Chain A
Amino acid sequence: MNLAIINFGSGNLHSVHKAFENVNSELSNPYNIVVTNDPKEIQSADKIVLPGVGAFGDCKNAIFKIEGLHASLEVSVLKNKVPFMGICVGMQLLADLSHEFGTHSGFGWIPGEVRRIASPKEYKIPHMGWNEIRFSDHKLFDGCEQGSDFYFVHSFYFQNQKSEHSIATTKYPDQITAAVCKENICGTQFHPEKSHINGKRIIHNFLEWRP
């Protein structure tokens, strides 16, 4: 079984890779984890992880610059229904479009738009640090307690068009989507790779997820 972590030059690639390696090594049937941007390797993967930090447009352009990368993701995730996890901007990219530094179209895999967090002055932007989440019943949160803290760093959030696609929320001070899921596609706004034990549990659950 192969797990592909997509390498398009994102700053958190190394951290994501190390965290997945760490959790994977505790499985009885560990995955072979590859960090790759090779369409062939992506199409032969049994699970796919898309990390992402930085601006939406920059991440999207970096992905589309790599020949065949986006097309291979669409084949694997949309056609072959390979379980997929996007992290932070990797999750926001699933939206129809983003309003960060102009308007950019996204993958359009989960309906909704990415908007700037509108918070009163005393709430600093980025929303940075540990914040608690409320989640609905989903494999990703198996063994997690309601109100657990996860590490967030973002100035924009994913406003889902359909509430059923938002499987976890946090508050800053308004309610913000903390995780999304639609069929075999999931994503987290927080960074599981930086969220200590709670984060490792999410990674573990994703590795065991059979949507």
Chain B
Amino acid sequence: MLKKRIIPCLDVDNGRVVKGVNFIDLVDAGDPVEQAIIYNAEGADELCFLDITASSDNRDTLLEVVKKTAENCFIPLTVGGGVRSLDDISRLLHFGADKVSINTAAVDNIDLVAEAANKYGSSTIVIAVDAKQTAENQWKVFTHGGRNETDIDVVTYCNEVAKLGAGEILLTSMDRDGTKSGFDNKLLKAVTSKVNIPVIASGGVGNLNHLLDGILEGEASALLAASIFHFGEYSIGEVKRYLADNNIPVRI
């Protein structure tokens, strides 16, 4: 049976992790490569780096991080943040990313989704969607890290990128992100019930039960979390055991 994936996400700024992990055996809590290696050893199903470096001049520092991680971790690595063009995708893949996530650039230019999927394969292209609720059962796409509102309906948009060849959707609830109050499962369900590509749930995880709900209520294929892992609240192993105890298929 296909397993539900657990994906720790690391925010990287100028080649350093923003929210450091306090693992005991970590020499440098700001080194994303070291943290990736530990998540890999703990049984993470994939890894995700989100580059939040403000200046594009400093983006190359991320490439070194990607390269070193790919040399040490033999699980899928998704990299996103500031991806604007086919060249950007090509560079990240060349340095060892397995998937590249595109956010604002896909909203600005929807053709990029088809071009990227045709050139690199659907399995390589993740479309990251930042969603915010604007009315009952209605969510709009936000861009530029959630700062700019568009009038694009999230479900319509997800369907469109799926048709254009996106391999999966990384769906973040801007309302829940950072709140630790659980995923927006209504949002998740609205998308997973209408879109036939895998959806990764993101934004709002505070405890183990939230993760379970993301699968049972949101029907997500994969769960992405940052802070619960970074601050050592739960290990990947604990998360998986909890899900397994609740009859969710996971890789242990």
Contact = CB atoms under 8 A, between A and B. Distances in A.
Interface of A: 11-12, 14-15, 18-19, 22, 53-55, 58, 89, 121, 124-132, 149, 151, 153-155, 171-172, 191, 193-196, 199-200
Given A128-B168, A131-B2, A196-B75, A14 B221 contact: no
A149 B74 contact: no
A103 to B, nearest CB: 18
B197 interface: yes
A121 B196 contact: yes
Nearest to A203: B74
A129 B123 contact: no
Interface in B56-83: 70-71, 74-76
Given A126-B197, A128-B167, A129-B45, A18 B5 contact: no
A126 B167 contact: yes
Interface string B156-200: 000000000001100000000000000000000000000011110
Given A14-B70, A14-B95, A124-B196, A55 B118 contact: yes
A146 B93 CA distance: 32
A58 B98 CA distance: 18
A10 to B, nearest CB: 9
B222 A14 contact: no
A55 B122 CA distance: 8
A129 B221 contact: yes
B124 A151 contact: no
A200 B73 CA distance: 11
Nearest to A14: B96
Given A14-B93, A15-B96, A149-B251, A154 B5 contact: no
Interface in B113-147: 118-124
A61 to B, nearest CB: 12
A46 B1 CA distance: 37
A194 B75 contact: yes
Interface residues of B, number: 33
Nearest to A23: B74
Nearest to A58: B118
A22 B71 contact: yes
A171 B3 CA distance: 12
B198 A124 contact: yes
A11 B78 CA distance: 13
A32 B188 CA distance: 48
A132 to B, nearest CB: 7
Contacts of A193: 74
B2 A129 contact: yes
B237 to A, nearest CB: 14
A5 to B, nearest CB: 14
A54 B1 contact: no
Nearest to B124: A11
B198 A129 contact: yes
Nearest to A172: B2
Contacts of A154: 123
Interface centre among A131, A132, A196, A199 (most CB of B within 10 A): A196
B53 interface: no
B94 interface: yes
B40 interface: yes
A129 B198 CA distance: 10
13 contacts: A11-B93, A11-B98, A15-B74, A18-B96, A22-B71, A53-B124, A54-B119, A121-B196, A125-B196, A128-B168, A153-B123, A154-B123, A194-B74
A132 B123 contact: no
Interface string B100-120: 000000000000000000111
Nearest to A119: B196
Given A149-B251, A153-B167, A130 B74 contact: no
Given A18-B96, A128-B221, A196-B75, 9 more contacts: A14-B95, A14-B96, A18-B74, A54-B119, A126-B168, A127-B2, A130-B2, A131-B3, A195-B74
Nearest to B3: A130
B2 A196 contact: no
